[in-house]
Amino acid sequence: MNIVIIDYGAGNVKSVQFAIERLGYSAICSNDAAVIQAADKIIFPGVGEASSAMLEIKKYGLDEIIPKLNQPVLGICLGMQLMCRFTEENDTKCLNIFPINVLKFSNDLKVPQISWNTLMNLKPPLFRNVPEDSFVYYVHSYYVPLNEYTIATTNYGLSYAAAIHRENFYACQFHPEKSSAIGEQILKNFIELN
């Protein structure tokens, strides 16, 4: 199994790599287009600010590569938001894999949301063997609204998409690599996708 974590300088790549190793798999971190395109499974993590992250993605030419990938891809946190069309964070145009706009939480909510929160309305295959109302770990100030691609929801002031899926692209707003046994199950489900 050839697992590649996209490393463009804005992702928490080591913690994702360690989480995969705890499952008995190995993964390499790379920003090389040929290495990424040759992978069986690809993980696209992200932390930080969207416009800076998109500049890094473009610097490596990955804005052209990522949307055209045919193998399973899992976006995490900022990675999920960058897979959308646009984010209100510094009015940033993103990769448009999911034709959705990412919105800022309202000013009456404490942001970023840094907390464990529940997962609801779970759909397989990403959430196979994950119980409803399982807790996962979030750190974010922007959110993906509910949409036709939603495969899990959560609630923070409003109900929004905790995870989305379109064709070979999956993404989650929470950090599975920091979400204990539940997060490991979700990563395992992704790695074992056919």
Instruction: Examine the residue annotation and report whether 172 is marked as an active-site residue of this protein.
Output: no
Residue with tokens 């950090």: 175
**Position 160: which residue type?**
Y
| Catalytic entry in 56, 89, 140, 177 | 177
Instruction: Examine the residue annotation and report whether 29 is marked as an active-site residue of this protein.
Output: no
Residue 128 DSSP class: T
| Catalytic entry in 88, 165, 175, 184 | 175
Residue with tokens 């040759």: 38
| Catalytic entry in 77, 84, 94, 172 | 77
The span from the CA of 73 to the CA of 5, in Å, is 10
Instruction: Examine the residue annotation and report whether 77 is marked as an active-site residue of this protein.
Output: yes
Beta sheet of 27-30, edge-to-edge order: 27-30, 3-6, 41-44, 73-76, 169-172, 159-166, 150-155
Smallest CA-to-CA distance from 82 within 110, 59, 51 is with: 51
Catalytic residue list: 77, 175, 177
